Structure 1
């Protein structure tokens, strides 16, 4: 795969640093407004990433962009998509004016096609809340170019792991891969009035995923809907967990993921985050 150039984040003379991969649980859009352990974690994570050497660009795989085959946003200046309803006006007024990274989008599609994955033509799409909500906390300066890649829920975990494997070389070109979903995502069973208790079925699933990711147990993860405890109760649809498999695939082969954060909101919304090197 040919190298790509980036517009803004670091000086042209700066050395290219291999970037890690992150799986982030983005939770409710209110994460952008309300104080929480997860919000503070993302703010600290962004500062840590920048201190270690800011990425030249970010490629986000968000659970909120579903397509029949992988496609990527070619937008030069992605709009901030407020793809939700029923929240305070202040949330709809928030903007994340980061520059786009169409060259990264094209490189991602080319990398996928090279490995035999069928792709769709790029679109000039903005950033949905699975992308901009964590990014506005991590990189509030909005100075790092961002491209977004879609997911394919009908194709399952193994497809998304292969997708991540194909994207792995982008890391050596200074691209940070951020897979944004939710470790658990059963909105009907959340306790909206607030609770400090974690539902046992959510805690069991959270623990199982941690065990398999930290042990790099790819076979078990690919088959999580059959093997994980309460898999369907935690994910009636698995679109919010599929970004995790892309992160696993983009990791250095054989390297386990390291859990960086594991708080739970609303009784059953696990906000776990993992780093893959």
Structure 2
């Protein structure tokens, strides 16, 4: 067993992923046990989600975290879901110090709570809620290169048993989704497939300059991400993996033909995780 863990970018999509079956939820159900068997259970999980956004990075140092139901209009069964887990105040302080050392105006705050971009993913992967969690807020107006710098500052944590997760969605055009109202089994839209494939190819080639410039270079980028907060956590996970390590796609699926739910692993252990997942 090794405690060097591959940083991850995971698509969470709709909060209904917590209670509905889909290829993406089935993948998350497998992911936690595979990580435990392959690397050993993480000593903590550090998660960045677009649903906790601040002007500067804030690390939530609460001793205990509960699921926040930060959404509306869903079935009652979703609001009955709970996820209660320990925090890691000392790790949170360490994370903030690491960011400050590289010139980022970060701070650890005595705050608690897991937004749905965090708890829905963790509830599928580790339903027993036995791993301490440290939420790190996203600064949504920072560039991909700035997000990368956040991840790079935290890279050493992956060698100390901390699983770094950027939670988002590979594509996230909700106006289109609610406007078109596609069926659950709708065929994948060609523009979505083109975007998925471009991301996979550029990541496999370690073409980080192109990925930093994705809004100009990726096909149909603006259509996939009218605003890019659900995509930016990718760069934090990738930065933690290092510039010489390719991005390895560990899951690919599309909900309703529009919402791509791909997952990626980064760093020296990424290929090992992909192999373990089969």
Tell me the TM-score normalised to structure 1 length. 0.92
Question: 1:154 aligns to what SS in structure 2?
Answer: coil
Aligned ranges 1:50-61 → 2 under 5 Å = 50-52=36-38, 53-61=40-48
Partner of residue 270 from structure 1, selected from 240, 256, 260? 260
Residues 48 and 166 in structure 2, CA contact (< 8 A), matched pair in contact too: yes
Does residue 182 (structure 1) correspond to residue 169 (structure 2)? The answer is: yes
Distance 1:123 1:226, change over 3 A: farther
Structure 1 residue 71 displacement after superposition: 0.4
Q: What's the offset of the Cα at 1:94?
A: 0.6
CA distance in 2, matches of 1:66, 1:241: 13
**C-alpha displacement of 1:121:** 4.3
Distance 1:266 1:46 in 2: 25
In structure 2, the partner of 1:165 is: 152
Q: Unpaired segments of 5 or more residues in structure 1?
A: 1-14
**Is 2:147 aligned against 1:194?**
no
Q: Which residue of 1 aligns with 2:271?
A: none
Q: Deviations over 1:227-261 (max 9, x none)?
A: 11111110010000000000110003300011011
Q: How much does 1:68 deviate? A: 0.3
SS in structure 1 of the partner of residue 153 of structure 2:
helix
Residues 1:48 and 2:48 are matched in the alignment: no
Q: Report the 3-state secondary structure (helix = DSSP H, G, I; strand = E; otherwise coil) of the residue aligned with 2:154.
A: helix
Structure 1 runs of 4+ aligned residues shifted over 6 Å read: none
Aligned CA RMSD, in angstroms, stands at 1.3
Q: Partner of 1:209 in structure 2?
A: 199
Distance in 2, matches of 1:269 and 1:156, equals 23
Q: Does 1:106 align with 2:93?
A: yes
SS in 2 for 1:50: helix
1:148 corresponds, among 110, 115, 135, to 135
Q: Which residue of 1 aligns with 2:215?
A: 225
Shift of 1:119: 1.4
Pick one of 16, 38, 52 that aligns with 2:24. Answer: 38
Contact preservation (8 Å) 2:208, 2:243: no
CA–CA distance in structure 1, aligned partners of residues 226 and 91 of structure 2? 32
Query: Match of 1:249?
Result: 239
User: Which range moved further: 97-106 or 229-238?
Assistant: 97-106
Mapped partners of 2:265, 2:99: distance in 1? 22
- 1:70 correspondence with 2:57: yes
Aligned to 2:103: 116
3-state SS, counterpart of residue 165 of structure 1: helix
For the residues of structure 2 that align with 1:121 and 1:146, how far apart are their CA atoms?
Answer: 14
Contact 1:100 1:145 in 2 (8 A): yes
Contact (CA 8 Å) 1:82, 1:128: kept in 2 or not?
yes
Residues 150, 236 of structure 2: 8 Å contact kept:
yes
Alpha-carbon shift at residue 134 of structure 1 (Å): 0.6
Aligned pairs, number: 263
1:91 and 2:81 aligned: no
Return the alpha-carbon distance in structure 2 between the equivalents of residues 192 and 87 of structure 1.
18
Structure 2, unpaired ranges of 5+: 268-278
Instruction: Between 118-127 and 266-275, report the one with greater CA deviation.
Output: 118-127
Q: Give the SS at the match of 1:240.
A: coil
TM-score (norm 2): 0.92
2:167 aligned counterpart, secondary structure: strand
Among candidates 8, 13, 18, match of residue 27 of structure 1 = 13
